[in-house]
Amino acid sequence: MHAQHLVSEQAFMTKTGASHPPSSPQRTANSLMNISKVLILETLYELLLNGQTNRVSLVRLQADVNDHPMTKQLADQWQTLKINDILDVIKLLFPKQTSLSDGQIIFYNLQIVEIRDTLLDVVRECQDTLVKDVKQLEQQYQTIKNHDDMKIRRERIMGMYRDTILAKLQSFQHFHRLYGKLEPSPAVRDMMDLERIKATSIENLSHLQHILQKCVTDSVMATKAGTDRYREIILSQGELDDTVKFVRYAMDN
């Protein structure tokens, strides 16, 4: 039957986590309710059609629903339906056309075709829900993909800025000497070096400026004041400032 094919697909999607985008508990509850409706309606339709009667044993209905092959496919996320659960669904679908007597549910003024039509309506509702969920998943995937592509392009551009600035600084008289090996100093916890800076993924120009400024600061902290090297370090600060100003101007224009 068409309903069986649909719910089999729903079961597969549920098990693989593909039917629901990160969603609210309400969406999951609605999906499970729709599946309950399909299982109950299909089982009810078969029992009434084969029995040629307007009444069905609740115990038989419950047993057939819980033994349904589609129920077993949903075993990981499905709890067996109790009689009260089945009654709630039937009252929801046919509020004024049923009564209970001696453990049987009796249908009044209800044609078998009405059950079939109601079943197909619920199936279509399930289909519509699946289509909406898939579209939402596609939109979320595209958003994530666009974000990742933009991030890759940005990292590439920032890498070009980093390499350009380093090349310019190394051409100066004083700044490139800051990359020489310094003697370990208790004043500097984590010494920067040129190769390490080249391998650093920078977030923006300010991030790179902070890293390069640390080179100057480390050298100041690790060098004795008044020495020739100390004076070179102070001059290198001006070279760094001029380079950052040049690059910012180039980026703005």
Contact (CB, 8 A) for 129 and 9? no
pLDDT of residue 154: 79
Q: Name the pLDDT band for 11 (thresholds 50, 70, 90).
A: very low
Q: Which residue carries 């509020």 as its tokens?
A: 95
How many angstroms separate the CA atoms of 159 and 153, rounded? Answer: 10
The mean pLDDT value for 246-250 works out to 77
pLDDT of residue 183: 59
Q: Who has greater pLDDT, 75 or 86? A: 86
Q: How far is C-alpha 240 from the geometric centre of its chain's CA atoms? A: 42
Strands (E), the chain: 55-57, 98-101, 104-107
User: How far is residue 226 from each of residues 126, 172, 174, 213, 223, measured CA to CA in Å?
Assistant: 80, 21, 16, 20, 9
- The single-letter code of the amino acid at 43 is T
**Mean of the per-residue pLDDT values for the chain?**
76
